Amino acid sequence: MHHDLGALGTAVNRRATERQLQIMKSMGVNAIRTSHNPPSPEVLEYCDKLGLLVMDEAFDVWRRAKIPNDYSKYFDQWSERDIRDMARRDRNHPSIIMWSIGNEIHEQGSPQGAEIAATLSRYFREEDPTRPTTAGFNNHLAAIKNGLAVNVDVPGFNYKPWDYARVLDEHPDWLLVGSETSSVVSSRGVYHLPLEKYQKHDSLQLTSYDIISPPWAYLPDPEFAAQEKSPRVIGEFVWTGFDYIGEPTPYFLGRGAENDKDWPARSSYFGIVDLAGFPKDRFYLYQSLWSKAPMVHVLPHWNWQGREGQAIPVMIYTNAEEAELIVNGKSLGRKKRGSEPVELPVGPNISKDGKYQSKFRLMWQVPYAPGSIKAVAYNGGKAVATKEIKTAGAPARVRLIPDRTQISANGEDLSFVTVRIEDKDGNLCPAADNLVRFKVEGAGAIAAVDNGNAATTESFQGDSRKAFSGMALLIVRSNRGKGGAIKVAAASEGLSQGNATVTARETASDIM
């Protein structure tokens, strides 16, 4: 997790922090890695409360600089003080399970790095002998050769699932952790056909079929397989839980004029959840591996006007034994999870022929006709979960869904209001980009607006926002010391207005 809170920026807000972690936990997450600096105390407080484990990380650079004026200028003078202060501040949080001494530091390629790694690990052990140290090594073979890996308790490998088994065979007393994995990039609700691997898309959006990644990265599926085969790999930290401001990879990876057409891509596509807090399809792929409550998810949307009769790849993610796809009331049959590998396009770092056979997804090629696609998950022959997507008609209304209808009147508490563009029957309109104008009256005000679009210069501060893939977000903040109703209205030309009410409640601490 990066430190920013999307449209609210980087200043800490307690409710926004809690919401991010709650969304992660609902996916089945049980551990958070901070990147690449110590987190706010509020992050650790909520991880304690929610039962989330934490890899608490100190540095992104040691002596060797990554960019001008980075921490390398201060490392020799401040690294011991900073580690000891960090450990003393955080060591009483039960959520912390590992201390990370660094991420992808340049000293991996130098024998001098071993000495630094040993010193930093010693500082942590002196302050807290109860927890192991780790580090994120992207140059893992150099880190092993030069002695860095042996100077942490649990070596972390960034993007190296194909080497887990071999390294563990060579080091029978080691445990490993996938300290940074996958890095798929996608845009919520966007699907590009045909199903193919590409570097960038001219739309500045990236397909949500969960197959696109930058050159050093890969699909979630090979990591799943490697983790299954190597029980001494204790888990993985996926890059990343939420989208974050900046680093809009793969855009702006080139140089000079090559980047000109990449504007205004301005925030990451890496998130399993978009900047507004709306889950992408990948959320449900991870949930199918990490959660026990029966679930099923089907993609893509079912609005493909102009492609009637053409085959549309339909995927199902589920943690059940098998799933059935029903299209316009007709069953296309059941498939057992893992019994029929799905061929996915991948990069050369995973496969020489550019193809990967995944056992973690189910897929059908379905000739498009308007109507519905329905996924039904079964355990022991009994239906345990259902998900249906219908072809949406024309946008007809704005619907508002607050995540909390009661908040504290302390001037800091928030209600995150989901904004949906729906047809007359309540179906999400997946291509809707209607401009929605907001009005907030009473005991609160607009804190920020967003829609999860990584390629827009629309301001987060304002009273309007375009929908992206049919959705937007309004963040409402209470007024300090003023309880009562917060009335929210959302209007868009030609659509029925959406309305919601949030109540701000005063307590003694709110009016002091």
What positions carry a catalytic annotation? 104, 180
**CB proximity list for 496: less than 8 A, separation 6 or greater:** 396, 397, 398
Considering Cα of 271, then 276, then 277, then 279, what sign does the dihedral take? negative
Dihedral angle at the C-alpha atoms of 72, 75, 76, 82, nearest 10 degrees? 180
SS3 88: helix
SS3 270: coil
How is residue 186 written in tokens? 């996608």
Q: At what angle do helices 281-290 and 220-229 cross, to 10 degrees?
A: 10
**CB proximity list for 306: less than 8 A, separation 6 or greater:** none
Closest CA to 241 of 415, 55, 75, 381: 55
* Rounded CA separation 232/364 (Å): 35
* 8 Å CB contact between 46 and 18: yes
CA atoms within 13 A on the CB side of 337: 20
